[in-house]
Amino acid sequence: MTSSQGPSSPAVNALSGQAVGIVGLGLIGGSLGLDLQAAGVEVRALVHRDSTAQRARERQLAQCIDTDPGVLQGCGLIVLALPLDRLLDPPASLLAALPADAVITDVGSVKQPVLERWEPLHRRFVASHPMAGTAEAGVEAGIPGLFAGRPWVATPTPGTDPIALAAVRELAALVQAQWLTCAAPAHDQAVALISHMPVLVSAALLEAADLGGSAAGADALVRQLASSGFADTSRIGGGNPELGTLMARCNRDAVREALRSYRNQLEQLEALVDQQQWQELEGRLKHCQALRPDFL
């Protein structure tokens, strides 16, 4: 893993003078369009639906927005800001419209399957993952400054074109993201542990606290007493269901491994409660208290 902070200058000014293409203007694509235009870059965007194109134009998410893949012609770098399922099963019309010399990158939260699909498709493909988000999705979701200070992870392989990688790094620097690189399997394992598996852990909490209609009084009491602690712990479990499912589906092996590891830890804590080993439990919770600042 290597990393660098701030808008340091990459060795190669690969973007200069060339338009950036964005495929998809949801939260990530739309936010990128706003920031890149603010940085003086010409942005062209391809979207799926006419209604999205119209709204995206009103929001000025790019200078040129179209449903015709021809809009991408002349772009030096193209960002595939598509949901994982569409990224892994790209339409032929999109593939045909990608210039052979353009740098292509993606924003998917899983990297190994994306590399397996895209490295054979385009010789200048760079797998990357800007780790920024809000609870919003769709053409209304894009906001300025979304990537500032957030990690932008690239997972180059021995086959990755170094000039193409430098171009993506320049893109990340333009939106003030914190650049780092690692191997795709390490990325996928890490995001399973800190993002994909926790969605299921948090969702199970909401399900456990839902006593259902058979216990109406108790159910109402539980809702009334839930405080900020429960709100925080249940936040990602109550998030975007399509995204949560896609992450589990596209990163299934790592998510299963993370779930096994999680369940093992939880069962150990449960055993301490069963066996009334309070000193040991307090020791474990002290360790957790000491651990957490490392993750903030």
Whichever of 12 and 281 has its CB closer to its own copies, that residue is 281
Q: How far apart are CA 81 and CA 101, in angstroms?
A: 19
Q: Which is nearer to its own copies, 57 or 150 (CB)?
A: 150
C-alpha span between 32 and 41 (Å, rounded): 11
Contact 244, 252 (CB under 8 A): no
Dihedral sign, CA of 266, 250, 123, 168? Answer: negative
Assigned token pair, 195: 């993002």
Contacts of 235 (CB under 8 A, 6+ apart): 202
Shortest gap between Cβ of 145 and its own copies (angstroms)?
A: 15
Residue 217 corresponds to which tokens in the numbers above? 């009084």
- In whole angstroms, how close is the CB of 247 to its own copies at the nearest point? 10
CB neighbours of 193 closer than 8 A, spacing ≥ 6?
A: 254, 258, 261
Minimal distance in Å, beta carbon 108 to its own copies? 14
Give the separation between CA 42 and CA 64, rounded to whole angstroms.
Answer: 9
Nearer to its own copies, 40 or 293 (CB): 293
Q: Which is nearer to its own copies, 77 or 131 (CB)?
A: 131
- Please report how close the Cβ of residue 190 comes to its own copies at its closest, in angstroms: 5
Minimum distance, C-beta of residue 166 to its own copies, in the bound complex (Å): 21
Residue 143 or 281: the one with the smaller Cβ distance to its own copies is: 281
